[in-house]
Amino acid sequence: MLSMLLMILGMTIITVSILVNQITKSTFNKNNPNVDVVVGAKGSPLQLILSSLHHIDIPTGNINYENAKKIIKHPAIKFGVPISLGDNFQNFRILGTDTNFFKLYDTKLKIGKLWEKPMQSVIGYNVANVTQLKIDKFFVGSHGLIDTGDVHSEQPYKVVGVLKKTGTILDNLIITSLDSVWSLHSGQNDNDKNLEVTSILLQYKNKASAFSFPRLINKKTNMQAASPNFEISKLFKLTGEAHKITNYLSVLIVFLSFAGIFFTLFNNINERKYDLAILRTLGFSKRKVFSIILIEGMTIAFLGSLIGLLFGLVIYKTIEYFSLLGKSMITGQFEFFYEIFMVWMIILVISFLTCLIPCIKVYKQNIRSTLINN
Amino acid sequence: MLICENLSFSIDGHNLISDINFKIKKEKDLLITGPSGIGKTTLLSILSGLQKPTNGNVIYNNINLYNLVENKIDYFRGKQLGIVFQNFNLINTFTINQNLQLANKNLDSKDNDHLFELLERVGLADKSHVKVSKLSTGEKQRVAVARAFIGKPKWIFCDEPTSSLDDKNTDIITNLIKEESLRCKASLILITHDKRIQKILNFDQILKLGEEL
């Protein structure tokens, strides 16, 4: 029983660890549509990346729109798009941008059209599914990035388009024009000089600019430039250590389980060697008795690891459902199930080898002396 | 026919049995007698394929038992031989029915009717659900007999089947073994130093260990 519990625990931790680590990595990769650099207000560069590209943190502040336009026109920049955050609808972020934003992502409209005037919006696939918003329906945004109930009831948005599923954070966004965002926030539509955006997403003409351009922004302006790839790999370096410890722990627990299975079988054999000898007198072959013991051990290993695997999936889904990060995770990535399946197979193979030792002891049992000694 | 040729068995250079020879025809009975410690149980182990002899052959109907691989010997034992051990060798934590089912399972038989008929004949039908550990010695011996006859074996080996029984139970068990042997058309090879058995049954052959008759 203890060996089965250890097997369940070990397999659960391994499953959760693989899923969280791999799906998080994959989500971060897929959420970045080849943006080379993000320019925003000074603050934590990681926070700027998380808020502007992955939409899981609050922005570092705002930057002047006039300055943003100048940066987009900089000779080192091939393509740039401003974004403005600030509101949400039922916890789905409302993102103000221009229609060039869609060029960054490989996406198409499932139904409807892009906005043509302020307060029209295009919604992501998950937004449509969860909120039940449809074309020509109206909704009012709440102030802030999480639903606080403080609504902009004076100016509702109208849904004019629904995006196809992309498997990226785009599925969780409500996208509208910058004018819409500015018109909801007082004082921001007086003249262009006072307008602000959250950040700009940029692609370089030449990758060599990755060295000079951020230095230019960081030194010569009151803004900061952050590289998504650099910041995310830094984040994974930090979390990687914790991930390693979790992995070592789960491997240790699984090995304790192997030891548990081994000693359980060994004790069972010692206690039941007389019964096993009787089976032989009844004509049970060595192979048959061998397989009885093997099946007993492998049942513990198979059931324990299978239950652990299922527990792991349930725990992962629970984490995904309740966590902020989880909401922006891309679900249904079956390539990781292959990795888990391989780990499961390795565990079963080691369990099999562990079971073989007690089975060989049974195989070599001398029936006559066992019966006489009893 | 069962032929024993020059059977010997020794452990650590000490001869337990040496140069045993006998032949027994199909459906004929053999009584093996001799004092305690002479190697009767060892002989039974050799005849039933549980212990390889140091020398000699055990031949059942032209099949030299110890020329077979071990798994084939086990298979042969399961299909052709029935053994009643001196100390019963039942699984005490199992019920009577479970003990019989185990033997039946090895025969790949799905017919359970004959198990109940067998239990009826040994007088234990109403106790089939009782654990072996709760049975009397006489009852245990009857279970052991029933188990030995499950596969309708052609050769029945009994090792001191009455050594721990009173006169009444000795009479019952001995007759039971004989009746079931006749029913299966099996040869009975009985090992004992219990003189009561010789008064109850007539054997076609008697082998006194150390003497050939």
- Chain B CB contacts of A287 below 8 Å: 71
Contact criterion met (CB < 8 Å) for B70 and A278: no
Which pLDDT score is estimated for B134? 94
Residue A332 has pLDDT above 60, yes or no: no
Phi/psi zone of residue A87: left (φ > 0), alpha (ψ -120 to 50 degrees), beta? beta
Q: Supply the pLDDT for residue A146.
A: 66
Judge whether residue A21 has pLDDT over 60.
Answer: yes
SS (H, E, C) chain A: CHHHHHHHHHHHHHHHHHHHHHHHHHHHHHHCCCCCEEEEECCCHHHHHHHHHHCCCCCCCCEEHHHHHHHHCCCCEEEEEEEEEEEEECCEEEEEECCCHHHHCCCCEEEECCCCCCCEEEECHHHHHHHCCCCCCEECCEECCCCCCCECCCCCEEEEEEECCCCCHHHHCEEEEHHHHHHHCCCCCCCHHHCEECEEEEEECCCCHHHHHHHHHHHHCCEEEECHHHHHHHHHHHHHHHHHHHHHHHHHHHHHHHHHHHHHHHHHHHHHHHHHHHHHHCCCCHHHHHHHHHHHHHHHHHHHHHHHHHHHHHHHHHHHHHCHHHHCCCCCCCHHHHHHHHHHHHHHHHHHHHHHHHHHHHHCCCHHHHHHHC
Residue B57: pLDDT band (50, 70, 90) is very high
Q: Using beta carbons and an 8 Å cutoff, which residues of B are at the interface with A?
A: 41, 45, 48, 50-51, 70-71, 74-79, 81, 83, 85, 87, 89-91, 102-103, 106-107, 147, 151
Question: Are the beta carbons of B106 and A283 separated by less than 8 Å?
Answer: yes
The pLDDT value given to residue A96: 93
CA distance B42 to chain A (A): 9
Contact B74 A279 (CB under 8 A): no
* Two tokens, residue A186: 């007082």
Instruction: Give the integer Cα–Cα distance in Å for A281 and B102.
Output: 11
Least confident of A77-86, A110-119, A252-261, B85-94: A252-261
Say which range, A173-187, A243-257, A331-345, B9-23, has the weakest mean pLDDT. Answer: A331-345
Confidence of residue A152 (pLDDT cuts 50, 70, 90): low
* Phi and psi angles of residue B203, each rounded to the nearest 5 degrees, phi first: -110, 145
Helices within chain B (DSSP H only): 40-47, 70-80, 96-106, 113-121, 137-148, 167-184, 195-200
A372 interaction partners in chain B (CB closer than 8 Å): 41
Choose, out of A281, A363, A373, the residue to mutate when testing the contact with B (most B CBs < 10 Å). A281
With CA atoms as reference, the chain B residue closest to A290 would be B71
Q: Is ipTM beyond 0.95? A: no
Q: Which CATH architecture has domain B2-208?
A: 3-Layer(aba) Sandwich (3.40)
**Residue B51 Cα, gap to closest chain A Cα (Å):** 7
For the stretch B5-25, pLDDT in tens is 999 999 888 888 888 999 999
Chain B residue numbers with beta carbons less than 8 Å from the beta carbon of A275 are: 91
Name the residue facing A282 among B51, B71, B102 (closest C-beta): B102
Q: How confident is the model at residue B212 (pLDDT cuts 50, 70, 90)?
A: very low
**What is the dihedral angle through the alpha carbons of A176, A179, A180, A186, rounded to the nearest 10 degrees?**
150
Assess contact for B165 and B137: CB atoms under 8 A. yes
The contacts of residue A29 (CB under 8 Å, 6+ apart) are none
Would you list which residues of chain A are within 8 Å, Cβ to Cβ, of chain B? 275, 277-288, 367-368, 371-372, 374
Residue B138 contacts residue B165 (beta carbons within 8 Å)? yes
For A351, half-sphere exposure in the C-beta direction (CA atoms, 13 angstrom radius) is 29
Is a pLDDT exceeding 90 seen at residue A264?
no
> pLDDT band for position B213 (50/70/90)?
very low
**For residue B156, what is the enclosing H or E element?**
strand B155-159
What phi and psi values does residue A177 have, to the nearest 5 degrees?
-80, 160
The residue extents of the domains of chain A are 2-24+234-373, 37-226
CB atoms within 10 A of CB A181: 26
A337 versus B103: which is more confidently predicted? B103
Find the CB nearest A368 among B50, B102, B107.
B50
B82 → chain A, closest CA residue: A282
Compute the nearest-CA separation of B197 from chain A (Å).
24
The pLDDT of residue A333 is 56
Q: What residue of A is the nearest CA neighbor of B44?
A: A368
Q: Which residue of B has its CA nearest to A272?
A: B91
Q: Which residues of A touch B48 (CB under 8 A)?
A: 281
Q: Which of A187-191, A366-370, B4-8, B87-91 has the lowest mean pLDDT?
A: A187-191
Contact B89 A287 (CB under 8 A): no
Burial class of residue A348 in the structure, from the number of CB atoms within 10 Å of its CB (0-12 exposed, 13-18 middle, 19+ buried): middle
Q: Which band of pLDDT confidence, cut at 50, 70 and 90, is reported for residue A263?
A: confident
Cβ of B78 within 8 Å of Cβ of A367? The answer is: no
Q: pLDDT per residue over A158-184, tens digit each?
A: 999 999 988 788 888 999 999 888 888
CA dihedral A363, A365, A367, A369 (to 10 degrees): 170
Mean pLDDT computed over A201-227: 89
Under an 8 A CB cutoff, do B45 and A285 touch?
no
Mean predicted confidence (pLDDT) in B114-120: 85
Nearest to A282 among B45, B71, B106 (CB): B106
- Mean per-residue pLDDT, A249-277: 80
Residue A192: what pLDDT? 65
